[in-house]
């Protein structure tokens, strides 16, 4: 790997912004990247030499960023801007996009780290109680002839089964991840999209993200004077983002059949309905590029807010579940003792 994950997280965003600033101030891409590499001691000399050699031999910035393991989204944006737009402006846009994604990740980690610690402690406590305290109490109640109520029996059974249930959940989660990596990602895009549509929360997030991507890309090309027909062909010919490739092919097929662009987009049932109205309005007043630009910003904010709401809902749910389980464990220990004391009296 040319950029290991720690290095990418630490310097990738800074690299994009500083590269934009330096080239804005008269540095060539080669000079700017060479200078920036001198600041990053974590990057291996072999990697620096390889990238600089690529630039000297006429390689594009997008191909260099691909070698540095930037995401396909960023590589595509830079690739398109090299042919149709302003590279420095696109670099700044990619920087802003990465910063937004980083904030979402940090917020997610911050939200779940405390509940996760509590869950681990609780699991350890449950296992300890199941193997030490509960068996002793069970033996004592049996010896003293205390008949446990039905509720206590059910709660005790739940506590005994809980570690196994957690292990099953972990195994199921690992299987889902493996299925996604080795099966789902290798299926055709049409099948992937049809599966995503059936998963409620994931479908909502994916719909917002795809709407943002398409509206942003269309706005980018249209604002740089590229005709809509050519835009669709460009997206159709690229192979880095297979989802956009599939969308472009589907739209182009509808356009070839004489359908209008908004109708072709609506036909796919992949995007927010509001996007269709924006496209229709933009075509009427010949400001489709600007309206799509504003719309893409609005959709991205909506996408962020949706994720923030989901993240914030995770912590209370975990706390409620933990609270109920702790109360259940307390009742399993205390109620039989109270019942036994009442019998003695």
Q: Which of 97, 113, 112 is nearest to 304 (CA)?
A: 97
Which residues, at least 6 apart from 7, have a Cβ–Cβ distance to it below 8 Å?
40, 42, 43
- The ranges assigned to domains in the chain are 5-100, 132-345
> What count of other Cβ atoms lies within 10 Å of the Cβ of residue 106?
10
Q: What angle do the packed helices 288-344 and 273-284 form, to 10 degrees?
A: 160
Segment-wise mean pLDDT, segments of 10 residues, the chain, 345 residues: 42 87 92 88 81 91 87 85 85 86 81 80 80 75 70 78 84 92 90 91 92 88 83 84 90 89 90 89 82 90 88 81 80 72 60
Start-to-end CA span in the chain (Å):
73
Site of tokens 């019942």? 339
CB 274 within 8 A of CB 302: no
CATH 1.10.3470 for domain 5-100, yes or no, is no
Alpha-carbon gap, residue 267 to 253, rounded angstroms: 11
Identify the pLDDT of residue 345: 53
Contact assessment for residue 64 and residue 33, using Cβ atoms and an 8 Å cutoff: yes
Structural tokens at position 18: 């500083």
Q: Six-digit token pair at 82?
A: 């090299």
Which residues, 6+ apart, have CB-to-CB distance to 40 below 8 Å?
A: 7, 11, 15
pLDDT at 260 (0 to 100): 86
- pLDDT for the residue 289: 85
Q: How would DSSP label each residue in 77-127?
A: HHHHHHHHS-HHHHHHHHHHHHHHHHHHHHHHHHHHHHHHHHHHHHHHHHH
CB neighbour list of residue 340: distance below 8 Å, 6 or more residues apart: 141, 144, 146
What is the value of pTM for the model shown?
0.75
Q: Determine if residue 58 is left, alpha or beta; phi over 0 gives left, psi from -120 to 50 gives alpha, anything else beta.
A: left
Cα R_g (the chain), whole angstroms: 28
Q: What is the 3-state secondary structure (H, E, C) of 143-157?
A: HCCCCCCHHHHHHHH
Q: Tell which residue, 330, 326, 321, 312, has the closest CA to residue 111.
A: 312
């Amino acid at each position: 790997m040319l950029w290991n994950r720690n290095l990418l997280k630490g310097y990738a965003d800074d690299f994009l912004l500083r590269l934009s600033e330096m080239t804005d101030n008269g540095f060539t891409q080669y000079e700017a990247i060479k200078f920036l590499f001198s600041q990053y001691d974590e990057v291996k000399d072999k990697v620096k030499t390889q990238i600089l050699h690529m630039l000297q031999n006429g390689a594009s910035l997008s191909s260099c960023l691909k070698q540095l393991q930037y995401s396909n989204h960023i590589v595509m944006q830079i690739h398109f801007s090299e042919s149709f737009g302003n590279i420095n402006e696109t670099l700044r846009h990619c920087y802003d996009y990465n910063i937004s994604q980083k904030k979402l990740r940090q917020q997610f980690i911050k939200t779940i780290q405390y509940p996760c610690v509590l869950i681990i402690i609780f699991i350890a406590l449950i296992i300890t109680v199941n193997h030490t305290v509960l068996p002793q109490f069970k033996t004592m109640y049996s010896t003293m002839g205390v008949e446990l109520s039905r509720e206590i029996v059910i709660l005790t059974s739940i506590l005994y089964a809980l570690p196994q249930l957690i292990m099953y959940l972990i195994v199921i989660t690992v299987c889902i991840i493996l299925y996604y990596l080795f099966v789902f990602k290798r299926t055709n895009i049409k099948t992937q999209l049809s599966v995503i549509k059936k998963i409620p929360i994931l479908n909502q997030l994916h719909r917002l993200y795809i709407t943002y991507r398409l509206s942003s890309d269309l706005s980018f090309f249209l604002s740089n004077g590229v005709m809509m027909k050519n835009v669709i062909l460009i997206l159709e010919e690229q192979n880095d983002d297979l989802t956009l490739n599939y969308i472009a092919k589907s739209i182009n097929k509808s356009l070839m059949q004489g359908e209008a662009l908004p109708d072709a987009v609506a036909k796919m049932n992949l995007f927010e309905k509001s996007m269709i109205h924006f496209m229709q309005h933009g075509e009427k007043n010949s400001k489709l590029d600007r309206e799509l630009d504003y719309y893409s910003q609005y959709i991205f904010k909506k996408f962020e807010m949706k994720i923030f709401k989901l993240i914030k809902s995770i912590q209370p749910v975990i706390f409620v579940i933990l609270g109920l389980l702790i109360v259940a464990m307390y009742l399993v220990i205390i109620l039989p003792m109270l019942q036994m004391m009442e019998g003695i009296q």
